[in-house]
Amino acid sequence: MVKVRFAPSPTGFLHLGSARTALFNWLHARHTGGQFLLRIEDTDKVRSDKKFLDEILEDLKWLGMDWDEEPIYQSQRFDTYREKAEEVLSKEKAYREGDAIIFKVEKGRNIEFEDIIHGNITTNTDTIKDQVMIKSDGSPTYNFSCVLDDISLEITHVLRGDDHISNTPKQILFYEALGYTPPKFGHMPLILGPDGAKLSKRHGGVSVEEYKREGFLPEALANYLILLGWFPGEDQEILSLEEAVKLFDINDMSDVQAKFDIQKLRWLNGEYIMKEKNEDLLPLLKKQLSATKIDTSKFADEYLTKLIDLYKIRMKTLSEFAGLTECFFQDDFKMDEEGKKKYLDKEENVENIRIFANRLEGLEDFSHEKIEKICRDIAEERSLKAAEIIHPTRLAISGKTKGAGLFEMMELLGKEKVLERMRGIQT
Ligand code: GLU
């Protein structure tokens, strides 16, 4: 049975690269009916923090992953690591240096392994120094504890980032010394920023938590991360985790460097937002609105839901919603100055708005169809294009040159607000 693991160090938030590593391990386990395990690599007691661990676990769940057993914690296994190190020591394959235990690396050998993603990788042991197993403070090194735990968890495949390629021959030496066959290894190319350098803070957000806050949907982010390591096929760019589980084959993973393309992620997110049910978007958008200090408590869910209907095709992230819909919650919305010059600083446009407002005054049924009819009638009577009334009116009621369909916006805002705003316009 396939057994894979994800082994985060809780010394920071979940990096996008680590989330991708977790996803591919999870996909491999679920595709093969195997097991996906979590191991918390918290050997660095100073830098490890419960706050990071909680967020990492939450983010993994948020992205749609589940794991098969309770996570194991390396901080609880120091005795085992020491015992095993002493075993190696007793076989004279290691020596003590003060309180540290150090593994002797035999020189002049080639260590070879067949990487699932990169193919054959050979390293000569002349390039490998003797390896610390237990440090003088009693804590194990990453390479040693990793191997011991992968052995005891019976891990069959180790999928991790390229930054660990140089660790793998060292780990293979430990497998040999302990008398075990190493698992299969696959190293995923690092995620690069648009400039070709390793994805880092200066490229924008690097942690899952930042994307969550920005209003990316988990399905979209997971989908995007999967595309950064595997090509499911020409017409298969948008795929759910469920579909990915069916289609995924570890042997198809790509060894090309993955460039992080925020525009593509935004596009995907927009696609997912469009497909999402309004009722599922509602609580998420309320949160976004309250983060920008818009008080939604005075507005009924029905009103918000209609607003979501109007704007869900117009946002790429949920955090854009507040800016797009400001005028639906408050009267002191921002006015687009360019647009104002273009549309509202003109006598004839103000006159058209005045006429339009007067006709709307008598309208009983303030529906978008009826509003539109009046607008088009006025345009015809005055030999104007409807757009010549629509654009200035949109600006008057929303402060924006773009938005949802004007008549739908007016219907939702309601007659009173609309007339008040239209009449507030003077040159
Ligand atoms: N804690 C290591 C990391 O986060 C795990 C590497 C591994 O998967 O072996 O990079």
CA dihedral 325, 328, 334, 337 (to 10 degrees): 80
Q: What is d(CA 246, CA 232) in angstroms, rounded to the nearest whole number?
A: 11
> How many domains would you assign to the chain?
3
Lowest mean pLDDT among 134-138, 218-222, 294-298: 294-298
Q: What is the pLDDT of residue 427?
A: 61
Tens of pLDDT along 258-278? Answer: 899 999 999 999 999 999 999
Q: Which of 240, 275, 310 is the endpoint of a domain?
A: 275
- Residue 252, by phi and psi: left (phi above 0), alpha (psi -120 to 50) or beta? alpha
Q: What is d(CA 208, CA 15) in angstroms, rounded to the nearest whole number?
A: 6
- Which residue has 């017409």 as its token pair? 235
- Amino acid residing at 359: R
User: Residue 38: what are its φ and ψ, rounded to 5°?
Assistant: -115, 135
Same structural domain for residues 131 and 216? no
Whether 294 shows a pLDDT value over 90: the answer reads: no
Residue 104: which CATH number?
3.40.50.620
Ligand 1 midpoint to CA 206 (Å)? 17
Nearest atom of ligand 1 to the alpha carbon of 146 = 9
Whether 200 shows a pLDDT value over 90: the answer reads: no
Atom 4 of ligand 1: nearest residue by CA position = 8
pTM: 0.93
Same structural domain for residues 201 and 180? no
Predicted confidence band at 61 (pLDDT cuts at 50, 70, 90)?
very high
User: Residue 132: what are its φ and ψ, rounded to 5°?
Assistant: -65, 135
Same structural domain for residues 203 and 329? no
Tell whether ligand 1 has an atom less than 6 A from the beta carbon of residue 7.
Answer: yes
Contact 395, 401 (CB under 8 A): yes
Give mean pLDDT, residues 187-198.
90
- Environment class of residue 417 by beta-carbon count within 10 Å: exposed (0-12), middle (13-18) or buried (19+)? middle
Nearest atom of ligand 1 to the alpha carbon of 159 = 8
Tens of pLDDT along 65-122? Answer: 999 999 999 999 999 999 999 999 999 999 999 999 999 999 999 999 999 999 999 9
Same structural domain for residues 171 and 206? no
Same structural domain for residues 251 and 306? no
Q: What is the pLDDT of residue 364?
A: 95
352-359: long-range pairs with CB below 8 Å, 24+: 352/378, 352/382, 352/384, 352/388, 352/389, 352/392, 353/389, 353/392, 353/393, 353/396, 353/422, 353/425, 354/422, 354/423, 355/382, 356/389, 356/393, 356/422, 357/418, 357/419, 357/422, 357/423
Q: What is the pLDDT of residue 202?
A: 85
Same structural domain for residues 156 and 200? no
Share of the chain above pLDDT 90, in %: 90
Same structural domain for residues 325 and 266? no
Q: What is the pLDDT of residue 120?
A: 97
Work out the mean pLDDT of the chain and round it to a whole number: 95
Lowest mean pLDDT among 18-32, 51-65, 235-249: 235-249
Tens of pLDDT along 41-55? Answer: 999 999 999 999 999
Lowest mean pLDDT among 1-15, 57-71, 135-149, 285-299: 285-299
Task: Give DSSP secondary structure letters for 188-205.
Answer: EPPEE-TTSSBP-GGGS-
Q: What is the pLDDT of residue 235?
A: 78
What residues pair up with 115 in beta bridges, in sequence order?
Answer: 119
Q: Which of 150, 165, 191 is the endpoint of a domain?
A: 191
Residue 350: which CATH number?
1.10.10.350
Q: What is d(CA 267, CA 291) in angstroms, rounded to the nearest whole number?
A: 23
Same structural domain for residues 299 and 419? yes
10, 134, 223, 314, 371 from 268: Cα distances, Å = 29, 46, 8, 13, 35
Same structural domain for residues 66 and 177? yes
Ligand 1 midpoint to CA 291 (Å)? 34
Whether 257 shows a pLDDT value over 80: the answer reads: no
Ligand 1 midpoint to CA 160 (Å)? 7
Tell whether ligand 1 has an atom less than 6 A from the beta carbon of residue 266.
Answer: no
Same structural domain for residues 238 and 328? no
Same structural domain for residues 78 and 146? yes
Q: What is the pLDDT of residue 91?
A: 96
Q: What is d(CA 418, CA 307) in angstroms, rounded to the nearest whole number?
A: 16
Q: What is d(CA 306, CA 293) in angstroms, rounded to the nearest whole number?
A: 21
- Name the residue range of residue 261's domain: 193-275
Ligand 1 midpoint to CA 151 (Å)? 15
Tell whether ligand 1 has an atom less than 6 A from the beta carbon of residue 164.
Answer: yes
* Cβ-proximal residues to 173 (8 Å cutoff; 6+ apart), any chain: 103, 105, 111, 125, 128, 131
Q: Which of 236, 258, 275 is the endpoint of a domain?
A: 275
Tell whether ligand 1 has an atom less than 6 A from the beta carbon of residue 150.
Answer: no
Ligand 1 midpoint to CA 7 (Å)? 5
Ligand 1 midpoint to CA 217 (Å)? 26
Return the closest-CA partner of residue 270 out of 322, 208, 215, 227: 215
Give mean pLDDT, residues 397-422.
97
Rg (CA), the chain: 30
What residues pair up with 101 in beta bridges, in sequence order?
Answer: 96, 134
Read off the tokens for 103: 């593994």
Cα 43 versus chain centre, distance: 27
User: Residue 414: what are its φ and ψ, rounded to 5°?
Assistant: 95, 155
Give mean pLDDT, residues 311-326.
96
Whether 312 shows a pLDDT value over 70: the answer reads: yes
- Amino acid residing at 277: K
Same structural domain for residues 263 and 376? no
Residue 22 or residue 254, greater confidence: 22
- Which residue has 């390396």 as its token pair? 74
Ligand 1, pocket-test mutation among 16, 53, 160, most atoms within 8 A of CB: 160
